[in-house]
């Protein structure tokens, strides 16, 4: 349950973070902010010159996911205040092994993570559909029964997310048109698409066209280039970024990048610099 105390806590934390020194919400580039789900810690994100971090809701199935534990939330909030780094989003990768469509605990996990996102001021929850949770079968056809279950479960969670100021970002391997059909069935503005450029190029989709089609139904972006740096890999990001600019997107670009040099901070700094160059942001 999202209580008045929870919202007051969130607001207080947000004020403290904005007043903190260093990079972070107060000093983020206008329009586009850069975070990471692969940097590891808030300290490392600050050292790399990032604006935020994407946290994991919990990797192990349990009655209560790790991130929603009060002690874990308190530790993250203290570190946010110390570093000035905000939480851009929360990843529910657990749905890749315990699918949202079929896992009995999944609705409770969604509710717990919405509460954690509100506590931390995270605007987006990544609802993942890969591995066992994929919405495509081996013939790349939609799993209709799973999609029906997913629609029902997300539709039930959407009002709670809206009340908490959180967007549920669906990330999968479906086409933009297939995702639009799912969003239309859910019928709630607290549910959008978490768009991973590399993954969807890999599916053979026309990514710039998909971005233009989805427009404001995109909540947030993942940027990565497989095992390489963003500026030195299979995907050339310029066409996708041109489409992102065209739709007037203002929000987070979350790095899900590899570390070719094994120095996560240095590699995140290089990748963030490339994102800033792509968007014409100050170095």
pLDDT digits 0-9 by tens, 80-129? 999 999 999 999 999 999 999 999 999 999 999 999 999 999 999 999 99
Sequence-ordered list of residues with C-beta below 8 angstroms from that of 29, at least 6 positions apart, any chain: 51, 276, 279, 281, 282
What was the pLDDT predicted at 14? 38
What was the pLDDT predicted at 50? 98
Report the b/e string of 84-112 with b at 16+ CB within 10 A.
Answer: bbbbbbbbbbbbbebbbbebeebeebbbb
Domain covering 4-279 in this structure, CATH number: 3.20.20.150
pLDDT above 60 (res 277): yes
pLDDT above 60 (res 58): yes
Alpha-carbon dihedral sign for residues 239, 245, 247, 252: positive
Alpha-carbon dihedral sign for residues 131, 134, 138, 143: positive
Higher-confidence residue of 17 and 58: namely 58
What was the pLDDT predicted at 41? 97
* Per-residue model confidence as pLDDT tens digits over 182-232: 999 999 999 999 999 999 999 999 999 999 999 999 999 999 999 999 999
Domain ranges of the chain: 4-279
Rounded-to-integer distance, Cα 40 and Cα 17, Å: 19
Rounded-to-integer distance, Cα 139 and Cα 142, Å: 9
On whether the CB atoms of residues 178 and 142 are closer than 8 A, the answer is yes
* Per-residue model confidence as pLDDT tens digits over 131-146: 999 999 999 999 999 9
* Per-residue model confidence as pLDDT tens digits over 16-39: 333 333 333 333 335 899 999 999
Provide the pLDDT confidence category of residue 269 given band limits of 50, 70 and 90: very high
Q: At what angle do helices 106-120 and 70-83 cross, to 10 degrees?
A: 30
Provide the pLDDT confidence category of residue 283 given band limits of 50, 70 and 90: confident
């Amino acid at each position: 349950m999202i209580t008045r105390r929870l919202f007051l806590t969130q607001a207080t934390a947000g004020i403290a973070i904005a007043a903190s020194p260093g990079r972070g919400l107060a000093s983020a580039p206008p329009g586009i902010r850069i975070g990471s789900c692969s940097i590891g810690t808030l300290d490392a994100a600050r050292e790399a010159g990032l604006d935020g971090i994407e946290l994991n809701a919990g990797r192990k199935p349990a009655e209560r996911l790790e991130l929603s534990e009060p002690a874990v939330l308190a530790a993250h909030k203290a570190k946010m205040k110390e570093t000035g780094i905000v939480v851009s989003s929360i990843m529910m990768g657990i749905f890749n092994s315990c699918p949202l469509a079929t896992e009995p605990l999944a609705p409770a996990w969604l509710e717990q993570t919405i509460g954690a996102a509100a506590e931390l001021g995270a605007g987006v929850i990544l609802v993942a559909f890969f591995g066992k949770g994929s919405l495509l079968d081996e013939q790349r056809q939609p799993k209709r029964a799973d999609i029906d279950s997913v629609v029902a479960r997300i539709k039930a969670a959407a009002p709670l997310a809206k009340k908490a100021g959180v967007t549920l970002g669906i990330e999968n391997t479906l086409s933009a048109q297939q995702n639009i059909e799912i969003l239309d069935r859910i019928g709630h503005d607290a549910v959008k698409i978490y768009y991973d450029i590399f993954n969807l190029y890999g599916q053979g989709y026309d990514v710039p066209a998909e971005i233009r089609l989805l427009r404001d139904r995109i909540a947030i972006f993942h940027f990565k280039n497989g095992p390489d740096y963003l500026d030195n890999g299979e995907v050339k990001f310029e066409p996708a970024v041109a489409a992102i600019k065209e739709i007037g997107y203002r929000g987070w670009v979350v790095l899900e990048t590899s570390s070719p040099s094994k120095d996560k901070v240095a590699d995140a700094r290089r990748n963030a610099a490339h994102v800033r160059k792509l968007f014409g942001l100050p170095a």
